[in-house]
Amino acid sequence: MTTQQDFVRVFNRIQVTNISSWKDCYDNLAGNFVFDADNTPMCSLSLLVITLVVYVVLSYSLNFIIGQRAHREKAPQNLYYTVLKYIGALHNFNMMMISTVCFIGLIYEVISAYLNDGFYAVLCDPEHKYNTGKIAFWMYLYHLSKFIELGDTLLIILRRGPLRFVHTYHHVTTMAIAYFGCASVGTGQWIPIAANTFVHMLMYYYYVQISFGRDVWWKIHLTDIQLTQFVIDAIAFTSWLICSYFIEYPRNNSCTGNELGAWFGDVMVISFFVLFHRIRTSNANYAKSKQELKKD
C-alpha cells in the first residue's frame, strides 16, 4: 500500500534541476503505487462523505446568504469582481494544467499497457495486472483533483451567479464515481477519466479566455462535447460489465473492479446526459427567442 510516508520519502529525493531524478521518483512512486483507503492520503470513505456533506450544506447556505444577481444580469465592474476575476482565472488555469497532466500521463501509461497486452487487458484486466502501478496512480491523482475542482462552486457563489442543481449534482456524483473507481481500482475506469480530463482541458481553457474578455469560436460546441463524453462513459461502463458478466464469469473470473461501482457510474453518466441535454435545449430555445425578438 502507498502511504503518506511513501510520498514524502520519494519527494525528498527529487533534485529540482536533475530531470532524471524526477523520472526515477515517478517510476518509484507510480510504479509501486497500491491504493489503500485507510492509508493512502485523502482516500478514506469518511473523508469523502464529510467533504460532500459540507460541500452541499455550505454551498447552498452561502448562496442563500450572499444571494444571486438577477437573471442574466452582468457582474458590476468594481474592485471586488476584478479580484474575483483574477482568482477565477488562476483557478481555471490550474484546473486546465491538472487536467492536461492527468490526461497525458494516463494515456501514455494506457498506450504502454495496450502495446504489451492489447485493448481487452486495459478494459477488463482479467489477470488483475493493472490494478496497481502507474495506471492506478493516475486514477488516484484524478480523484485528488476533484477536491480542488470544488473551487468552481465557491467562485460562482462569490460572483453571485446562479447555483444550478445540475452544477452541485454533477460535482457530488463525479467525485463519488472518481472515489469508487479508485477504491475498486477498476482498470477500465481510465476511459471515463481520460474523456473527462480531455473535456476539462477544453472547458477550463475557455474559462481562462473569458476571464480576460476573450472568446473562442468553438464555445457553442462545448455542451455537445460534454454530451459526447457522457456517451463514451456509458459505453465504457457497459462494455466493462458485459466483459465481466458474459466473458469472465463463465471462466470463474471477473474483470478488475467492482460491478456495483460500474452500475453506479453507468446510471450517473446517463443522468448527466439527460440533465445536460436539457440545458442544451434550453439554451437553444433562448437563443432562438432572442433572434425572433431582433427580427420583430
Q: What is the pLDDT of residues 215-242, one digit of tens each?
A: 899 988 999 999 999 999 999 999 999 9
Residue 23 lies in a domain: no
Residue 7 lies in a domain: no
**pLDDT reading at 32 higher than 70:** yes
Q: Looking at the 3D structure of the chain, how many domains does it have?
A: 1
Residue 89 lies in a domain: yes
Give Dmax over CA atoms of the chain in angstroms. 69
CB 209 within 8 A of CB 215: yes
| pLDDT band, very low/low/confident/very high, at 289 (cuts 50, 70, 90) | low
CB 186 within 8 A of CB 147: no
Residue 18 lies in a domain: no
Average pLDDT taken over every residue of the chain: 91
Residue 60 lies in a domain: yes
Q: Report if pTM > 0.75.
A: yes
Residue 19 lies in a domain: no
**pLDDT reading at 292 higher than 60:** no
Beta strands (DSSP E) in 25-113 are none
CA-to-CA distance for 249 and 246, rounded, in angstroms?
6
Q: What is the pLDDT of residue 180?
A: 87
Q: What is the pLDDT of residue 98?
A: 97
76: containing domain:
48-295
* Residue 35, Cβ density class (10 Å: 0-12 exposed, 13-18 middle, ≥19 buried): buried
Q: Which one is predicted more confidently, 4 or 16?
A: 4
Residue 196 lies in a domain: yes
Residue 174 lies in a domain: yes
